[in-house]
Amino acid sequence: MNSCGDLKLDHPHPEVQDTAACAVGGLPEGRMRQLGEVAIPSALCAEPKNGAFAPVGECIYCGQTKGKLTTEHILMYALGGNILLPKSSCETCGKRTSKFEQFIARDMWGMARAALKYPTRNKHRIARGYPVIAQPKNTGAVKFLMPADKLPFMLAFPELPLPGFFTGQTIDTFSAKAVQCRPERFKPFGNQRVYIGALDLQIFSQFLAKTAHALARAQLGSTFQPLLLDVIAGSRGSASDFIGTLRPELEAEDATHHRMQLVPLESGGQHYVGALIRLFAHFGAPEYVVVVGGTGDKIHPVFAENLRNLPPGAWRPPLFFPYGQGGGSA
Ligand SMILES: [Zn+2]
């Protein structure tokens, strides 16, 4: 994979224990037990109206109610995220989430975003052309500007085992999966190395954790016990405890850029709130599962009962982000 820039490409292939009990709605294969449709009362599982959920009134990351609370994009604006959660982030937490989301938007997927003409607050810079770094054999790297419609781009994703939360295994290295998006645009570069972006598992995990947590707070309110706050704050060592690749080889989904969905997870007889997140689904990207929270005492009895009696089918309809079509709710 000579066009992957500074991606880390170790191949640990950690074996996932067969005893891992991770159950996800709508998955027939292997140890993933199929769970089912649960009729969640609408008050417990909200849907956005006109692209926004009801205002929260406290910081969903630290609980602060005083001071200015800003609106969060559940999926960041830079990826076309158009569903809002008003009054949900304090200034301090807002700065932190912006910082890691900026890494994803610029350093990791900046080139892909430019090529796909995703929303940007920096249109002038993009109009001049996007900086491409290429390295011909045996010479130094060269940097030049390219128009968006000629940009070569490839998306890179961390490949992870199931969350350590279920397997009891912590990882310290990971492999990367590169999804070729416009292979023909690499042809003019011959065998030069082309820098496609940077990948940082810690930051990527923070970003997925933030997105999943915001989705759960939007749809379930505070009826679950959040597990991701330390991951989002960056104070937890191994974010892969809570985040894993669920289905690395899924078919591309027409028209859907991004998809995310809350699902019930079950391990050792305990129930948890999980989220499935698939970004760039139309390019055949991997799907991640995120362990979002526990369903202990805090959970509403109706919700808890529903989790215990799971008939076949899907649990919650996913939210789709077909960029450019507005709205965003399926
Ligand atoms: Zn906060």
Q: What are phi and psi of 181, to 5 degrees?
A: -100, -45
The pLDDT-based confidence of 172 (bands split at 50, 70, 90) is confident
User: How far does residue 90's CA lie from ligand 1's centre (Å)?
Assistant: 4
- Cα separation, 105 vs 110, in Å, equals 5
User: How far does residue 63's CA lie from ligand 1's centre (Å)?
Assistant: 6
81, 73 contact by CB (below 8 A): yes
What pLDDT score does 128 carry? 82
For 271-324, write each residue's pLDDT tens digit: 788 888 989 988 889 999 999 988 765 555 555 555 454 433 334 444 454 443
User: How far does residue 263's CA lie from ligand 1's centre (Å)?
Assistant: 26
246, 302 contact by CB (below 8 A): no
| Whether the predicted model's global pTM rises above the 0.85 cut | no
User: How far does residue 94's CA lie from ligand 1's centre (Å)?
Assistant: 7
User: How far does residue 42's CA lie from ligand 1's centre (Å)?
Assistant: 27
- HSE-CB at 70 with a 13 A cutoff on CA atoms is 11
Q: How close are the terminal C-alpha atoms of the chain, in Å? A: 36
Q: What are phi and psi of 99, to 5 degrees?
A: -65, -50
For 105-155, write each residue's pLDDT tens digit: 999 999 889 988 888 877 777 778 888 888 888 888 888 899 888 888 888
User: How far does residue 95's CA lie from ligand 1's centre (Å)?
Assistant: 9
User: How far does residue 159's CA lie from ligand 1's centre (Å)?
Assistant: 30
The pLDDT-based confidence of 48 (bands split at 50, 70, 90) is confident
Return the H-helix or E-strand segment holding 304. helix 301-308
User: How far does residue 31's CA lie from ligand 1's centre (Å)?
Assistant: 38
Other Cβ atoms closer than 10 A to 221: 16
For 100-118, write each residue's pLDDT tens digit: 999 999 999 998 899 888 8
User: How far does residue 181's CA lie from ligand 1's centre (Å)?
Assistant: 37
For 185-231, write each residue's pLDDT tens digit: 888 888 888 888 888 888 999 999 999 999 999 988 888 889 999 99
